[in-house]
């Protein structure tokens, strides 16, 4: 597992990435994401859906019983990178502490990005 720490808007965010390094080409990619911190009860899922929709990405987001938010997103690498940067910040009431990213197999998802029931 590859991990690194970064500072963003005075928030300490720890990030980890699994299953190899980030893809380097502009082809379609899919990522499984788990976000930790104050991310429930702060409109994080709606924020995630809005970001994905604005970037023409496909996938889903849901709350986990652990208090984390889980998501899968699929689309062009540059759009997914922009999406991940937005998730690192989150909506104004959120406080992202850790984001896990796993690059997974593309499913050729063509549906709208949706919020799943928890």
Choose the catalytic residue: 30, 45, 62, 114. Answer: 45
Catalytic, 45? Answer yes
Q: Are the C-beta atoms of residues 15 and 3 closer than 8 Å to each other? A: yes
Residue 65 CA neighbour count, 13 Å, CB half: 0
CA distance 42 to 45: 8
Active-site choice (63, 76, 85, 108): 63
Give catalytic residues, as residue numbers: 45, 63
């Amino acid at each position: 597992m590859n991990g690194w720490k970064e500072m963003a808007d005075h928030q300490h965010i720890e990030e980890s990435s699994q299953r190899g390094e980030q893809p380097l080409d502009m082809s379609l990619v899919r990522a499984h994401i788990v976000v930790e911190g104050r991310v429930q009860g702060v409109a994080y899922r709606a924020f995630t859906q809005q970001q994905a929709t604005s970037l023409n990405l496909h996938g889903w987001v849901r709350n986990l019983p652990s208090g984390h938010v889980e998501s899968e997103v699929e689309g062009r690498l540059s759009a997914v990178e922009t999406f991940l940067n937005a998730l690192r910040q989150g909506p104004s009431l959120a406080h992202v502490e850790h984001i896990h990213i796993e690059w997974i197999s593309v499913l050729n998802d063509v549906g709208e990005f949706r919020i799943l029931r928890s």
